[in-house]
Amino acid sequence: MMATEIRVPAMGESVVEATIGRWMKNEGDSVAVGELLVELETDKVNQELAAEEAGVLESILQPVGAVVRPGDSIGRIGTGNGASAPASTAPTAAPAAPAAGDGQGVPATPLAQRVAEDLQVDLSKVPHSGPGGKVRRDDVESFARQAEPAAPVAPPAPVAPAPAPAVTMAPAAAAPAESGRPESRQKLSRRRQTIARRLVEAQHTAAMLTTFNEVDLTAVMEIRKRRRDAFKEQHGVNLGFMSFFTRAAIAALKAFPEINAELQGDELLLKQYYDIGIAIGDPGGLVVPVLRNAERMSFAQIEQAISAYAKKAREKALTPDDLVGGSFTITNGGVFGSLLSTPILNSPQVGILGMHKIQERPVALNGEVVIRPMMYVALSYDHRVVDGRGAVQFLVRIKELLEDPERLLLEG
């Protein structure tokens, strides 16, 4: 049996590279068909790759943190008896062997050879536990740990004081030794790097401006209180605020179509459909899954879709298809306590609606001061496409619809 290459699959039309997030299996471990092998991090989602054949994970060609592209080989699965592995791995392993000191000719996996080179370990002295008599990464690391007290060249540098900065050069350069104050360095995830790049691009590309208003949510809260239990019993989800805001945004977009558009060169692409992106936060960063054709969705369908997306985000199960496209975005900083903010455009969209914390405040109503549940709302927009007048009127329309929510049913 020839060794089977583990290759990076295609991950969506806009995903051109990924980072090895973690390996679920070690070299030498047995794997079954469908068993998860490796997690790939992309700028959109994390994707787990399963074994297509049963056997033994004979070699890991790309370690955690490596950047790979669709089609790249990142590992090999074989029989584990050593019969097929040398023929398939020798071309890769041979050039790396001289880097292992006196261990030339010692059978070792490519990853073990790289680790041995980094730790300055002689492979010929390392006991092996891998299939076919090969030295594995774990063997090298275990040998290095045992040799540390007697062999100063095996560097315990991460915990050493300033006199041994060679192995930890980057952190040492960032923190002066005499300060003695603790610091740490953390590599940005692929998603965080992409979020940062796109936000900067949006600010550099669009003529972004934000307008604000406030909404009295008394009527919406009364409906939610009155219908909460029946809605949950009938549809299996809570009646939240997002369905009201989504329906209000769609009605306002119909009245101001330039905000549901995309600037392409010297042309404006006006969209007659309403694919609404809903920003959801998870530990890896903000993601924006899309409610496609949201104008056709009922309150219950909107809440069910958002709940399903939130669950997929927590479980890192979102797919690229969940995230591509979108004609307008809604983000709710209020769930984190934000009272007011200026959301950044989700390029190439030209508008984004920001929701915020609901706060009881004194307001003047019919000549009297009353306490009402108020929310500041913000619309960030591309001033190249949207005039200030249209942006202000857009928010006024949303305010009117939410303060008289029965109009959402009439205009929907």
The catalytic position among 102, 229, 383, 404 is 383
The CATH code of domain 4-174 reads 2.40.50.100
Query: What are residue 263's DSSP bridge partners?
Result: 268
Which residue type occupies 157?
A
For residue 132, the model assigns a pLDDT of 59
Answer left, alpha or beta for residue 34, where phi above 0 means left and psi between -120 and 50 means alpha.
Answer: left
> Do residues 290 and 308 touch, judged by C-beta distance below 8 A?
no
Q: Is 387 among the catalytic positions? A: yes
For residue 178, the model assigns a pLDDT of 55
For residue 107, the model assigns a pLDDT of 75
When the candidates are 3.30.9.10, 3.30.559.10, 3.30.465.10, 1.10.4080.10, the CATH number that belongs to 191-411 is: 3.30.559.10
Handedness of CA 14, 20, 21, 24 (dihedral sign): positive
The catalytic position among 102, 229, 387, 404 is 387
- C-alpha 399/C-alpha 240 separation (Å) is 17
For residue 94, the model assigns a pLDDT of 37
For residue 169, the model assigns a pLDDT of 42
For residue 233, the model assigns a pLDDT of 95
For residue 123, the model assigns a pLDDT of 80
Q: Is 235 among the catalytic positions? A: no
**What are the pLDDT tens digits along the chain (412 aa)?**
578 889 988 876 556 788 888 899 999 899 998 889 998 887 667 788 888 889 999 899 999 888 898 889 999 998 765 444 333 333 333 333 333 644 556 777 767 777 777 777 888 888 876 655 677 777 777 787 776 554 444 444 444 444 444 444 444 444 554 568 999 888 877 777 777 887 888 888 889 999 999 999 999 999 999 999 999 999 999 999 999 999 999 999 999 999 999 999 899 999 999 999 999 987 677 889 999 999 999 999 999 999 999 999 888 888 888 988 899 999 999 999 999 999 999 989 999 999 999 999 999 999 999 999 999 999 999 999 999 999 999 999 999 999 999 888 766 5
Domain range list for the chain: 4-174, 191-411
